[in-house]
Structure 1
Amino acid sequence: MYVGMKGDFGSLSFGRQNTAGVQISDMSDIGTFTGDQKAFVSAGNEQINNTIAYGYDFESFKLKASYIADDQKNADGYGLSGIYSAPFGLDIGLGYAANDLGTDKGSADQIIAGLGYTMGDLYFGATYTTGDKDDKADTEFTGIEVSAQYKITKEFRLIAAYQNQEEETKNVTKDKADFFELTGRYDFTKNFRSYLAYKANGLDDKDAGYKVEDTIRLGLRYDF
């Protein structure tokens, strides 16, 4: 929950809400299992407590900035992002986020870039992120996500996506995510939808630390 105001100056809000970088991750986060690339760094994640967010929409450019006043000492964070929309359906986005991890616990930062292209009922999106998950522990990360969506009818669409994430700690690299997704989605109304999603997991059991299995998910979703 958050409160805010909106006017010619843009929008300003405070509370539990998305940080600035989420508008970039949303460019490829259109599936059921997608979007985890924003979770590497708290300052770039969604639905974060004590977040101050500012947004301003120019004619073809969307600017967002955020600041996290964390309850924990020395754990504040900030983010800045922008998306330029060309007149022929191409969107280009770039964002940066950083936050401390607590007293004497180091810090984390992230650069995230995104592309989106809309052509009628077809949409393509891609994001790439890289940064330090914990500079004190020397843990770095990279992530890529590509997705496509085709609206067959007004109510029904097909979504396909691929995601890969890696973390490197002291020159040892492990996959954190590696999967393909195929989803069918049916919208009953603007707020109510159903979906059937299949996730083909390509992670190695050793990297995951558990027995990796594919996933099928059937669900209903209502947005208030």
Structure 2
Amino acid sequence: MKLTPSLIAICTVTSLSSFSALAGPIQVYGKVNISAQMTDDGQGSFSELKSNASRFGAKGDMDLDNGLNVFYQVEWGVDLTDASGSDNITSREQYLGLKGDFGTVIIGRKDSALKSLTAPVDAMNNYEADFKGLWKGENRLSDSVSYYSPSIQGFTVELNYAVEDSKEGEDSLTSGVYYGDKKLKKSNWFAGVAMDSDVKGYDVQRVVAQTKLGSWVLGVVAHTQESVATGDSDSGLALSSQYSINAWKLKAQYQSLEDDNSFSLGADYKLGKATKAFAFYTSRSLEQSEDQSWLALGLEHKF
């Protein structure tokens, strides 16, 4: 029998469920997000369906002796509209971790400190206007070891070290320090700075700040990137705003990289605790290429 990515994923989740009594409670979860959209790629317009970072996975944890806690997550991306066969299921964050008074250590495949630091500010995350559309640094690091320090007066340090994995490979390091709560539930401020050092051929630095003012959430990101091979350097800025009123969340976002820029408007409407309808419009202007735009209407359900 041929082991396809789909079969491996199913077997893994099934195996974890079978041993949940031994290893502690297991949570199987996922998100289905699909949009119908009109796309203009600069050469012409067409309609399409997009699966926007739909996923499923399993996670859990268990208390150990000496005040330690072990935890894990295995997660896959699923394309519900375009890709099929071996391309349908792709790896996302998959790791094993250990937590204690010393902090937290995670081994496996993990979003970098730079990527995770910026995600809360990216109001269009996982859509066409995701920050990765213009910027380098949105990396999920394989073969990595990550360390999170305990919170010290609200400050947390994160380090990600990715091993070379081959004779031709290169080690890389991402580091970050941030203050406050990324979800803005324990505090009304979140700020931080992070940098990539020779990660996938680029040195990247970002400064991030976000605040909650009543029904508003406002964020800003200053970004610079430099190619390790050529030394070419570019800088950019992102501004995002989100406004909640009853079941609605209204969004606006601007992103730039030198003369390239992107502007988006969006709206989410909560249909239930785990379900929402959404719409967005994104216009992207590129100096070295044709301008692009997207108009979308979609539905998301989490489980």
TM-score for both structures, normalised by structure 1: 0.77
Corresponding position of 2:285 = 202
The residue matched to 1:21 in structure 2 has which SS? helix
Q: Does 1:124 align with 2:215?
A: no
Aligned-pair CA distance for 1:11: 1.7
Residue of structure 2 in register with 1:163 after alignment: 255
Residue 121 of structure 1: CA displacement? 1.9
SS of the counterpart of 1:26? helix
Separation in structure 2 between the aligned mates of residue 218 and residue 192 of structure 1, nearest angstrom: 14
The number of residues matched between the two structures is 201
Q: Does 1:214 align with 2:297?
A: no
Per-residue displacement from partner, 1:73-101 (whole Å, max 9, x unpaired)? 33221111111239973322111211265
Summarize deviations over 1:164-200 as a string: whole Å, max 9, x none: 113xxxxxxxx4x411101111344555433211002
- Gaps spanning 5+ residues in structure 1: where? 102-106, 167-174
What are the equivalent positions in structure 2 for 1:168-207 lying under 5 Å apart? 175=259, 177-188=260-271, 191-204=274-287, 207=288
Give the alignment of 1:65-76 within 5 angstroms: 65-72=159-166, 73-76=168-171
Q: Name the CA shift for 1:194/1:76 in 2 (closer, same or farther; >3 Å).
A: farther
Residues in 1 aligned to 2:189 and 2:238: alpha-carbon distance in whole angstroms: 17
1:222: Cα distance to partner? Answer: 4.4
Contact 1:165 1:178 in 2 (8 A): yes
Q: Kindly provide the CA deviation profile for residues 34-88 of structure 1, in whole angstroms up to 9, marking residues without a partner as x.
A: 32289514xxx34322222222341412321111124353322111111123997
Aligned AA (1:18): D
Preserved contact between residue 161 and residue 172 of structure 2 (Cα < 8 Å): yes
Partner residue, 2:173 = 78
Aligned to 2:48: none
1:2-151 matches, cutoff 5 A:
2-31=95-124, 32=127, 33-36=129-132, 40-41=136-137, 45-58=138-151, 59-72=153-166, 73-85=168-180, 89-99=188-198, 107-132=201-226, 134-151=227-244
Deviation, structure 1 residue 21? 1.2
SS in 1 for 2:269: strand
Higher CA-based Rg:
2
Q: Is the 8 A contact 1:146 1:162 kept in 2?
A: yes
Distance 1:98 1:143, change over 3 A: same
Deviation at residue 126 of structure 1 after TM alignment: 0.5
TM-score of the aligned structures, taking structure 2 as reference length: 0.59
What is the alpha-carbon distance in structure 1 between the residues aligned to residue 197 and residue 235 of structure 2?
15
Is the Cα contact below 8 Å between 2:149 and 2:156 reproduced in 1?
yes
Question: Cα gap change, 1:189/1:98 in structure 2, threshold over 3 Å: closer, same or farther?
Answer: farther
Q: Report the residue type matching 2:100 in the other structure.
A: G
Q: What is the distance in 1 between the residues matched to 2:143 and 2:123?
A: 26
Q: 1:13 to 1:108 in 2, by over 3 A?
A: same
Return the offset for 1:220: 3.0
1:144-166 deviations in whole A, cap 9, x for unaligned? 1110001112x420110000113
